Amino acid sequence: MSDVACSTLSPPPVGARGSDPPGMALGSALLELLLDQVGYGIVCVSPAAAVRYCNALARDAVALGVPLRIEAGVLVCADRHETARLLAAIALVARERVPRLVSIAAGRELTHISLVPLSGPMGGARQSDCIALLLEQPHPCPPLAIHWYGVAHGLTSAERCVLDALNEGLEPSEIASQCGVALSTVRTQIASIRSKRGVPSIVALLRDLARLPPVTPCVVAGFRHEVP
Q: Are residues 37 and 126 in the same domain?
A: yes
Q: Per the domain annotation, does 206 fall within a domain?
A: yes
Task: Please state the φ and ψ torsions of residue 52, each to the nearest 5 degrees.
Answer: -110, -25
User: Does 220 reside within a domain?
Assistant: no
Mean pLDDT of the chain: 83
Residue 171: CATH number of its domain: 1.10.10.10
Query: Residue 43 is which amino acid?
Result: V
d(CA 179, CA 162): 9
pLDDT-wise least confident of 40-44, 182-186, 189-193: 40-44
Report, as an integer, the average pLDDT of 173-193: 97
93 within a domain of the structure (yes/no): yes
Are 52 and 121 in a shared domain? yes
Is residue 225 situated within a structural domain?
no
Q: Where are the alpha helices (DSSP H) in the chain?
A: 28-36, 56-64, 80-96, 143-152, 157-167, 172-179, 183-197, 202-210
68 and 167 share a domain?
Answer: no
Strand, coil or helix: what is 76? strand
Q: Give the separation between CA 65 and CA 58, rounded to whole angstroms.
A: 11
Calpha distance 55→65 (Å, rounded): 16
Distances (CA, A) of 61 to 95, 104, 134, 188: 27, 14, 12, 37
Sequence-distant (6+) residues with CB within 8 A of 146 are 160, 163, 164, 167, 209
Between 206 and 18, the higher pLDDT residue: 206
pLDDT computed for residue 80 by the predictor: 85
Q: Tell me, yes or no, whether 148 and 112 share the same domain.
A: no
pLDDT tens, 151-167? 999 999 999 999 999 99
Does some domain include residue 53? yes
Range of the domain at 154: 143-210
Q: Which residues pair with 44 in a beta bridge?
A: 53, 132
Report, as an integer, the average pLDDT of 172-176: 97
Q: Do 149 and 104 reside in the same domain of the chain?
A: no
Domain of residue 77, CATH code: 3.30.450.20
Please indicate, yes or no, whether residues 47 and 95 belong to a single structural domain of this protein.
yes
The reply to whether 108 and 90 lie within a common domain is yes
Residue 219 located in a structural domain? no
Do 48 and 95 belong to one domain? Answer: yes
In terms of domains, do 122 and 175 share one?
no
The total domain count for the chain is 2
Say if 14 falls within a structural domain. no
216 is a domain residue: no
Q: Are residue 102 and residue 154 in the same domain, yes or no?
A: no
